[in-house]
Each structure stands twice: as C-alpha cells, then as structure tokens.
A = this chain, B = another copy of it.
C-alpha cells in the first residue's frame, strides 16, 4: 500500500448559502484548503498519519474562523476553554485535554499527553501545568480574542441561552441565525496503512459548568484503529456521548463486517437521527477509503488523497 488519504472538518450544523457572504465563503474554503494542504504535505513527505492530523488541526486552530484554538468561543464567564484529543490506530495510543486555557494549540498538547504524561486525559489547570512543564507554546488571553466571537457572546451573554447546543428549549428565541456545532478535526491514513484521528474545539458559546462534550473523549468524538477506521466527530456532543459514536462505527466494521461507508451511514443517518442527534463525522479506513457523512444542513469539510482527489465544501452536495 502506498496510497494515503487525509480528511478534515471544521464543524457541522445549519450552514446555508444565504447565511454566508461570498467573501466569507471564500475565506472558509481557503482555510479548509490550507489545513488540507498542511496535512497532505506531511503524508506526501512520508510522514505519519499522526503528524498529518496534528498539522491539519493546528492550521484550523490557528485560523480564527473556526471554533478551536485561536477562534474559540467564549464561555458564560467570558473566557475560552478548549478541549482536544488525538489517537493513533497502531498501538491504540491516545491523549486528550479538557477545559484548558492559554494553550496555543490544544491538539499539540493532546499529543504530548499521549506521548509523555503516562496518562490519557488531563484537565483544567492540571493540564496547563503539564503544558508548562513540557514547554508547550502558550498564548495570552488577547490571542484568543476575536471580535466575531466576542460579539456572538455579548449577544447572548445575559440570557440563559447557550449556542451550539442541542436543547430545543435553549435555542427557542435565541438571537443567532446560525445553529452550528463548532469543532475541527482530521483523520488520515498514511502510506504504511497507519490511521490517526484528532479533534479540537472551543465548545459552546456561553457554556457553563465546565461542560465537557464529545470531542476529547476517545471512542466518542475521536477514535483510531488500524484494523477498522479513524473517526473525528462534530455535532450535538451530548447525543454523540450517549451513542459512543466513533467506536460504534469501528465496532460495526469489526464485528458485523460492514464497510466504512455502511457503518458511517448507519450511525450518522439512522441511529443519531432516531435519537435526535444532529451533526456529522469524517472517516478513513486502512485502504484509503473515506467518508464525509452528516445529517445536518452542512459541514465544513475537505479531503485530499494520493489518488488525486482534492476538494473542499460547505453545503450539501
């Protein structure tokens, strides 16, 4: 096997053409292409799928258009708290961080947790302490301040609404036009057939209570296994957690013998729909097959393969 494939997403939800100006649409597509190219370059230079996933996600984290890293949304307290996870499918190694602040690239910290902490998941100030001990790149609060996210927050700050959430009651009357699940992710298979997956997010605008969603949870928002697939999810985190989405796709392949496409379809378009869980996922298998699967109006997404496929998209095909 000498082919390789990289897929990315920048979140799913009610993304309609009428909601984006042509200029903004172009910026999103450029941001997706840039991230895709960063990750693809790693694979083309015979790098690992783990490094490709990290490179692609760092690019999305550094882009203030996406709700992760720099562009993270504000919590109820007006701060940025981020989650991320990364996993490699050969040894089933994984690392994750939850509720971290002032970390420039949470996905890089997740990889550091995987390789050097002796643990899988670190949270809050403890995760930050680990980051400082490991010499990770930090960033001041101002780095994470983006006018767009701040305005978003101000708009709903004094309400009990939280945006990007699943409760109908909490969306009713919400001023924002856009019901969007802001998360970024990448999955890749390299020329050695090794699979990796990663996810990073700033969570929900105006979130409270140290809420942890599906993104940093191995088997839920992020999973990789060379024997089956690599998965990164975006959507109503609470539903994804109850459905153990990423590992469900893997088990349908491993235990029922389904193809990547069949397994993704059943989980996203049947099981999640039945529960009421909106969102999507990106997936690859060891043969280089890929799926960009969602049950929402749109998903910021892209895929590039050694076979020449190279595309980015936002709305429904």
Contact = CB atoms under 8 A, between A and B. Distances in A.
Contact of A99 (B94, B124, B208): B124
Judged by DSSP, the binding face of A is mixed
A115 to B, nearest CB: 13
B241 A218 contact: yes
A208 B132 CA distance: 14
Chain A interface extent, by class: 35 or more
A93 B109 CA distance: 31
Q: Which of A126, A166, A255, A256 has the largest number of chain B CB atoms within 10 A?
A: A126
A108 interface: no
Contacts of A10: none
Chain copies in the assembled complex? 2
A106 interface: no
A244 interface: yes
A17 interface: no
A245 B154 CA distance: 42
A210 B252 contact: no
B209 A130 contact: yes
A119 B211 contact: yes
Interface in A237-273: 237-238, 241-244, 247-248, 251-252, 255-256
A129 interface: yes
A211 B121 contact: yes
A27 interface: no
Contact of A210 (B125, B167, B208, B244): B125
B256 A242 contact: no
Contact of A211 (B122, B208, B209, B243): B122
A43 interface: no
